[in-house]
Amino acid sequence: MQDEQQTNTSEKNRMILENMELNLTFKLPLPVKITHMYTGILHLHRTIAYLALILVFVVMVKSLYGFINRKPHTEGDRKLGLFALIGSHLQLLAGLTLYFAAGYVGMWSNMSEIMKDADLRFKIIEHPFMMIIGIVFITVGYSQSKKATDDLKKHRLKGVFFLLGLACFLASTPWDRLF
- In the complex, the residues that contact ligand HEM under the rule CB under 6 A are 42, 45-46, 49, 52-53, 88, 91-92, 95-96, 98-99, 102, 123, 127-128, 131-132, 169, 173-174, 177-178
Of 128 and 159, nearer to ligand HEM (C-beta) is: 128
Of 81 and 128, nearer to ligand HEM (C-beta) is: 128
Nearest of 30, 71, 33, 67 to residue 159 by alpha carbon: 67
Least separation in angstroms between residue 68's CB and ligand HEM is 26
Least separation in angstroms between residue 81's CB and ligand HEM is 15
Residue 70, φ and ψ in degrees, nearest 5: 50, 50
Angle at the Cα of 76 from the Cα atoms of 70 and 81, rounded to 5 degrees: 90
C-alpha dihedral, 139 to 142 to 147 to 152, nearest 10°: 140
Of 41 and 152, nearer to ligand HEM (C-beta) is: 41
Least separation in angstroms between residue 40's CB and ligand HEM is 11
Least separation in angstroms between residue 92's CB and ligand HEM is 4
Q: Which single residue brings its beta carbon nearest to ligand HEM?
A: 95
Report the C-alpha gap between 142 and 104 in whole angstroms.
Answer: 30
Of 42 and 61, nearer to ligand HEM (C-beta) is: 42
Report in angstroms the alpha-carbon separations of 15 from 8, 20, 75, 141. 10, 8, 50, 40
Report the C-alpha gap between 66 and 71 in whole angstroms.
Answer: 5
Least separation in angstroms between residue 151's CB and ligand HEM is 27
